[in-house]
Amino acid sequence: MKSIFSRLLITYFIVVLMIIVILTSAISFMYKTIVMEEKKESFQSMAKRIGILTEKYAKGAMSQEELNAVINGMSYSADAMIYVIQIDKESFSKEKNLKFQGFTDKFVYNDLSEILKGNQIFRKNQYSEKLETYVAYMGYPLKINAEIKGAILMFCPIYNINQNIMRMNLILWTCGGIIFLMSVPFIFINSRRISKPIEQVEIAARTIAKGERTAPVMVHSKDELGMLAHSFNNMKEQLEMNDQVRREFIANVSHELRTPLTSIGGFVQGMLDGIIPMKESTEYLKIIHGETKRLEHLTSDLLDMAKIQSGVVELKIEEINLYEIVSEAILLVKDKTEEKHIKVKTQVETKLKIAMDRERLMQILINLLNNAVKFSKTHGSISISAAERKHLVVISITDTGIGIPQQDLPFIFDKFYRSNKEHSSERESSGLGLSIVKNLVVLSGGNIWAQSKEGQGTNISFTVNKVEG
């Protein structure tokens, strides 16, 4: 399997090579085109001058020797062969060939008919049988006194032109080769710069997949590669955090299950061994029953937490009379409040309506009321209030209990979190109640928070959506 470094290297080499080839070929083509255009313009300029000189010769202002000398000079300087043919249309139409002029090329004969009509003809690459080579050729009308009296034919061997073009091509391709060689170290460095962070991420990912810890990927660039490394490091930290939470969760669940199971096992074994007298068995059976209820409550809370975190909890949002459901929740905890002589006060409008899942709202209220009862002193009080704020309703449950230390407040909604006062107090709790409450509130689109003072009590508030109208 090819590495990303080798793929980048090959890709860059191919791209740079293609760019050099395309640019060099384009420049070479343009140069050849320019050379041919210059040759055409040069032919036209010479043809015009020869036409003027031939007209002077026809008028007797110049001798034939002088004319021949000038044409020979032009021919030498242009590295071309120049022929001046004096023939009119009538003579040309009677003459079947130009052998009398020394021309054996058919294209010359064919082109003369067009030239004698006043047209110019230029060919970039024409094979001449007479010269036995390819030539750049131009046919130009010879005019004397504004009448066409013949043709000026110019032939320049392509070999001479191609030599210049080949020299230019050699220079271009040499420069292209030098540029390619100069680009090699830059291509290598850039390919390594791009591939190295990706390789580091890949190695780290394989290490994490094996269940092992790995150091953060160090990439200091601020481009997409830097963002990739940053995202990977965040993901790695989150996975490690989740793994730590999972380990703590398993440890906490194991502890919570072991404690009641140990008590139940010990008492049962004591009764079986006869250590516990039969007359005291009823008391110990009550304890076993309580521990069983605690296990049932714990497993129920664990199941609720698993459903919430896995996203399988579906809310059935409906219009609810808040006063009615609060009254129902108070009724369900009445035995516990009467046992501790706790007064429960409500400050909720009788016609206030909210949009909420009825079953989940009841679960939230029961959890919060049970907590308030547990940590309230005997002859204490609990109040439930509801305040309207625009499109929301803030529901608050306040008790006169032992309160929560300020350092513990940010963590009371975490799974299995307990303050020192909670650990020292007697209660039957799974440590999941407030975490379940928070997840249900957030799932319903609300928010939850707590305020507390040690020795004075605790206030827990959460928001729900109000039904308008």
Predicted confidence (pLDDT) at residue 396 exceeds the cutoff of 60 = yes
Tokens coding 286: 């009550």
The per-residue pLDDT for 103 is: 64
Return the ∠ at Cα 304 (arms to 370 and 333), rounded to 5°.
Answer: 20
* Position 2 confidence tier, pLDDT thresholds 50, 70, 90: low
Q: At what angle do helices 64-78 and 4-58 cross, to 10 degrees?
A: 180
Reference 435, options 415, 409, 451; nearest CA is 415
Compute the distance between CA of residue 384 and CA of residue 370 in angstroms, rounded to an integer. Answer: 13
Predicted confidence (pLDDT) at residue 427 exceeds the cutoff of 50 = no
* Position 418 confidence tier, pLDDT thresholds 50, 70, 90: low
Between 227 and 454, residue with greater pLDDT:
454
Taking residues 404-426, report their average pLDDT. 70
Compute the distance between CA of residue 153 and CA of residue 142 in angstroms, rounded to an integer. Answer: 10
Strand 353-357 and strand 147-157: pairing? unpaired
Between 175 and 97, residue with greater pLDDT:
175
Return the ∠ at Cα 210 (arms to 205 and 213), rounded to 5°.
Answer: 70
- Cβ distance 395 to 458 under 8 Å? no
| Weakest-pLDDT range from 68-77, 255-264, 399-408 | 255-264
Taking residues 427-435, report their average pLDDT. 68
3.40.1010.10, 1.10.287.130, 3.40.50.410, 1.10.150.120: which CATH number matches 224-306? 1.10.287.130
CA 395 to chain centroid: 43
Predicted confidence (pLDDT) at residue 99 exceeds the cutoff of 60 = no
Taking residues 303-311, report their average pLDDT. 72
Q: By percentage, how much of the chain surpasses pLDDT 70? A: 90
* Position 225 confidence tier, pLDDT thresholds 50, 70, 90: confident
Residue type, 448: I
| Weakest-pLDDT range from 43-52, 305-314, 386-395 | 305-314
Taking residues 206-234, report their average pLDDT. 75
The per-residue pLDDT for 245 is: 67
Predicted confidence (pLDDT) at residue 114 exceeds the cutoff of 60 = yes
- Cβ distance 121 to 138 under 8 Å? yes
* Position 372 confidence tier, pLDDT thresholds 50, 70, 90: very high
* Position 102 confidence tier, pLDDT thresholds 50, 70, 90: low
Residue type, 99: K
Taking residues 217-238, report their average pLDDT. 75
Predicted confidence (pLDDT) at residue 420 exceeds the cutoff of 70 = no
Extended beta strands in 13-144, E state? 81-86, 121-128, 133-144
DSSP 113-182: HHHTTT--EEEEEEEETTTTEEEEEEEEEEEETTEEEEEEEEEEEHHHHHHHHHHHHHHHHHHHHHHHHH
Taking residues 312-325, report their average pLDDT. 88
| pTM attached to this predicted model | 0.49
The per-residue pLDDT for 153 is: 92
- Cβ distance 183 to 30 under 8 Å? no
Taking residues 294-304, report their average pLDDT. 75
| Weakest-pLDDT range from 38-42, 194-198, 288-292, 317-321 | 194-198
| CATH T-level topology, domain 4-164 | Beta-Lactamase (3.30.450)
Per-residue pLDDT tens digits for 19-39: 989 988 888 889 888 888 888
Predicted confidence (pLDDT) at residue 429 exceeds the cutoff of 60 = no
- Cβ distance 418 to 370 under 8 Å? no
Per-residue pLDDT tens digits for 347-366: 999 989 999 999 889 989 99
Predicted confidence (pLDDT) at residue 419 exceeds the cutoff of 80 = no
Domain segments of the chain as ranges: 4-164, 224-306, 314-466
The per-residue pLDDT for 12 is: 84
Q: What's the mean pLDDT when you consider all of the chain? A: 83
The per-residue pLDDT for 365 is: 93
- Cβ distance 163 to 97 under 8 Å? no
Compute the distance between CA of residue 50 and CA of residue 44 in angstroms, rounded to an integer. Answer: 10
The per-residue pLDDT for 412 is: 86
Neighbouring residues of 88: CB distance < 8 A, sequence distance ≥ 6: 116, 148, 149, 150
Predicted confidence (pLDDT) at residue 98 exceeds the cutoff of 70 = no
Predicted confidence (pLDDT) at residue 95 exceeds the cutoff of 70 = no
Compute the distance between CA of residue 34 and CA of residue 376 in angstroms, rounded to an integer. Answer: 100
Q: Which CATH superfamily is domain 314-466 in?
A: Histidine kinase-like ATPase, C-terminal domain (3.30.565.10)
Strand 121-128 and strand 381-389: pairing? unpaired
- Cβ distance 110 to 117 under 8 Å? no
Strand 343-347 and strand 381-389: pairing? parallel
